Structure 1
């Protein structure tokens, strides 16, 4: 690696097993596949749902053709075959024009692939517009940073570290290696809570009228620019509320881990109460949705287009589920693989909702809760809204929440209202310049 990169790692000591390097073509292919494969699967399932009526029509036409062929055979030979032969199936395909349909699809895919390869060969310089750095842990890519070179400036368009490897200093090393030799000025957009982190490298906020035209077009909230040589932070500054020794914050890697934590925390009344609230929230969304779908189904059936009712129902039932899980985040504080704190949030574009912040009763309860909330608030959009009982409100007010009117809550928290519950809001800015 370059000397400057080694220096950056000396100043940002990485835990054993971590490394930062430029991405190879194979790395880029793997990262693109991680994005493209789920998109292809979703596209295939969507096309399958949409094509259900087409498949239904093809089957009906095939049966009709088979019946017509049997009548002709019965008329000519006086016998009737119970099962179709290969010649019969081929004749059905020819009659329906299915062979032309698949030939058209194959030809279209081939032409599309040919155009893509032609454009790649005509404009090879587009490959060099982007530069990627990757972070590895024991040979597995766990983070990346992407730079895009424009004609008059450079843009840090993406930086990401897997949630299970946060708070290890990986983000700082990725940022430093990607910006140290980049063409200036270098722009980026970020959440307001991350401004102190980028200021350590020399970035400054940019007023709206000084931003490039592309930025002003989309009215981005927080834009920063690096005009001069990047500053190498000499040390990672500690948080105002450090976690106790041997404690770490992690996300859930799989459903099995989540289920184990749920079983462990189920004895807690606070955890049960918020599971009950979330189940009620989902039920309140789906009950009117199902009633509307039943009415639509009945109307479409009377018009003899039940297949359209099926498609609408599937899309309407699945969309809220996908939307909910896209916004949800679950985190835990662990010590020796034992969960001592848990947080469940819903992160939106302009605010976040804290459904549950649970910490075991211990002398470190206040310290763990404060450290947990401080780190999470850098990863989500402030303000944070919360609805809780009056007894729990005492703990949250000590963490920086303050009471507000229920009318100021987001719509999700106004759907279900319980008696003796209070609405809280957290807007405390993050003043600490902590490690990423």
Structure 2
């Protein structure tokens, strides 16, 4: 699919966001091993989350979906059935990695998990090695580093693991595996990634504690211990960031995103934009489904370059492509470092973002773990490629709202992975 864009005169609108992708995944996966029915409203119906539903159904769990409301009928911790076919995770790393952890402790179950070409190219040793340390029996291509991954459910034990990278997927895979172990799992090290799994497990009755950088989970003593959790999924801050950047960069804009998840592990992009000088207002703050939420309004702003590094990176890793676009339009230099994780996303996002920004007229230098963006550029229209990466597709669409001339995007359908309504919203806010 090809989309061609020209900058509009104004941007105005109130945007109801799709449900958060990370929370949507976990709401289905965790309720699948609870005991009883749960209703999940504002579920993200993007391709990634639909892959999670399909995989859970293939494991014998009854799941019903009506538009963006999903009902999950869990039958207990050890109720999953051996799948009769390969589990296709599509493009979803979250589905592959969290399910691998969940299935690793399901004794007697044999499962093969695979996905599209992009997912099969991504490294999996980051979950395979620590799961093996807990007693998991796993294999796959490249000695278990690439999908397809083979899981033979085994009897797991507790223990301690020091996380070398801040990855919510790795942390969550280990916590889900620990539900089926014979002792307490203690996680230390880089536990500062997204904490949606910890919050949800606690709300469902699991014995889990978080003390600074230390997380402890003790397995339930009975299979029906987890109770179902019904919730309304808050708006996805990763999706909201595209509109925040559009409003900040456009010379005549005011956009409000409602019901955004304001979990502190997810507000890195908001903090970065504030540091760059964006005009941001947060209103109607409240708690929904155990997560803090609010309405965020961003207006036309004059941005300045900053340094994005260190502890901020895990809190905005998915938003870095569009933040790099903001930096290209800001005054002064922006440096992004400590973001080597971008190399192993749906694409090598350092290489693809640098190539796209360069085509738009920005001055950008790639580094091994990030990029240096000169800033101050007046972007021009260009022909750009999504490379099948939903974050890139939306980033280049926002570039088309603020650059001079015509911007043409090839592979625009990639947005369906996380934001199927993206193009409809974009058309509505243009004036």
Q: Which TM-score band applies after superposition, normalised by the shorter structure?
A: under 0.3
TM-score by length of 2: 0.27
Pick 1 or 2: higher relative contact order, CA cutoff 8 A, min separation 6: 2
Q: Would you tell me which structure has more helix in proportion to its own residues? A: 1
Which structure features the higher share of strand residues?
2
Larger radius of gyration: 1
TM-score by length of 1: 0.27
